[in-house]
Amino acid sequence: MSEHDFSKRAGGGWRLEHSYAQLPRLLHVAVSPTAVRAPRMAVWNRKLAEELGLDAAAWASAEGASGAAAEIFSGNVLPPGASPLAQAYAGHQYGHFTTLGDGRAILLGEQITPRGERWDVQLKGAGPTPYSRRGDGRATLGAMLREYVISEAMHAMGIPSTRSLAVVATGEEIWRQDGARPGAVLTRVATSHIRVGTFEWVAARRDEAALRALVAYTLQRHYPELAGAENPPFVLLGAVIERQARLIAQWMSVGFVHGVMNTDNMALSGETIDYGPCAFMEAYDPATVFSSIDRDGRYAYGNQPQIAQWNLARLAEALLTVLHPQEEAAIALANQALGGFGERYQRHWLAGMRRKLGLFNEEPEDGALIEALLEWMHSAKVDFTNTFADLERVAPTTWAERWQARQARQSQSLEEAMRLRCANCPAVIPRNHRVEETLAAAEQGDVSVLERLLAVLAAPYDYARARAADVAEYRVPAPDGGEGYRTFCGT
């Protein structure tokens, strides 16, 4: 199938719009992807393509792995209607303010799905932009496949996340601190890429008109029910605080460690974004850190709720000039909104942990029951995921008696409680040693290990399937307990 014939057949699936490009010019710049040498499709998310309204059969058959589909998802050929741009934003990185922007990501446009939903389609690793800061604008195959695996696993668990549509190997070498690596481009899909850092960028330029335009746009795109509010910046701040409180509670409930919770990595949509040095905790320990550059544990597993609140405070600061014309009143409004984060997070966290214990109702001592379990898990160094999945068998007797007495005080049956638990305790997660073996095999040209892992992770709550011999091996922790495991950003 020629490129022309392919575009004619599959091009009807593209319905790209460009509402973000209508925002003030200080928020974006037009830029085209840089061509790569020998693009070849490494992995393709056919189900997501169908949800987006793309002709998945056409993509899959377009001259195989190195044909027209690979040309488009590498950035060599633009899809019909694309108008590529890089987005500007700032960010507090490890607590220090920096001006940033899409240094290696290019937004093709916003795909309108058959259901009328709007999704950003972005190429990550598509070459340098005006925001690259002397970087090469490229990405490594391993880092892009890691994002593909983890983001799709998070989606399967029901945790809001950006999605991964495709990874294309570029046929080029990318140089990083650990030497030459195969290059790749990830096609990332998100409800938007608006970040806390986007607002920080505008606020730093003291452009109040642009800030108000960004507030209105974000409300319309993510919180349309609030668009007519009397104080739009205030209701936006409150809505984002609520979504982030829920999101971080969900991370904590599955042992996810983001690894680099800078403000440019917090999306106002409430989706998990930018899977760099992320990983899943195995042995329960609130101090768990995987990122090789997080030497002080700023973004450790147990610190994530506090860091989220700190990031949200930076959003509130960026909004001060539009929250209220008087600074003192604006600060009071910001503090009022931020003061609710702790209660919101605790409410979502408790609700999630109750579900993991099979509890349908609320009792005052539930928090103490949960904390007692976590304290035992920490001291015993047991696996977080497997403990919740097999609690009846592994919990210490004294605690189990308290738990069983608590269950007995609710009207639902033990069978109903078990179903609730199974729907909230994943049987499989992307275990770190499995992810690493997948990436290593893919870098050698073998994607079968990746395909197998993705198939397992697609049904995290299917316990019948998880007990099968060919899936059970994916539930086993790393042989050495994961001691010393480190992840890298890939930039």
CA pair distance 39, 187, nearest whole angstrom: 13
Q: What is the 3-state secondary structure (H, E, C) of 371-408?
A: HHHHHHHHHHCCEHHHHHHCHHHHCCHHHHHHHHHHHH
For residue 474, the SS3 value is helix
Chain centroid to Cα 251, Å, comes to 10
CA pair distance 442, 149, nearest whole angstrom: 12
Bin 348: left if φ > 0, else alpha if -120 < ψ < 50, else beta.
alpha
Q: What are residue 173's phi and psi, to 5 degrees?
A: -95, 140
CA pair distance 159, 154, nearest whole angstrom: 5
Active site residue 264: yes
CA pair distance 451, 399, nearest whole angstrom: 40
CA pair distance 76, 171, nearest whole angstrom: 13
CA pair distance 156, 159, nearest whole angstrom: 7
What the block records as the tokens of 216 is: 């209105």
Q: Are 157 and 146 in contact (CB under 8 A)?
A: no
DSSP of 261-300: --GGG-BTTS-B---SS-EE--B--TT---BTT-TT-TT-
Annotated catalytic residue within 55, 102, 120, 264: 264
What the block records as the tokens of 327 is: 């600074």
Exposure pattern of 237-269 as b/e (b: 16+ CB <10 Å)?
A: bbbbbbbbbbbbbbbbbbbbbbbbbbbbbbbbb
For residue 131, the SS3 value is coil
What the block records as the tokens of 451 is: 């395909």
Q: Are 11 and 79 in contact (CB under 8 A)?
A: yes
Cα-trace Rg, the chain: 23
What the block records as the tokens of 490 is: 């890939």
Nearest to 281 by CA among 389, 161, 472, 431: 431
Q: Would you name the residues annotated as active-site residues?
A: 264
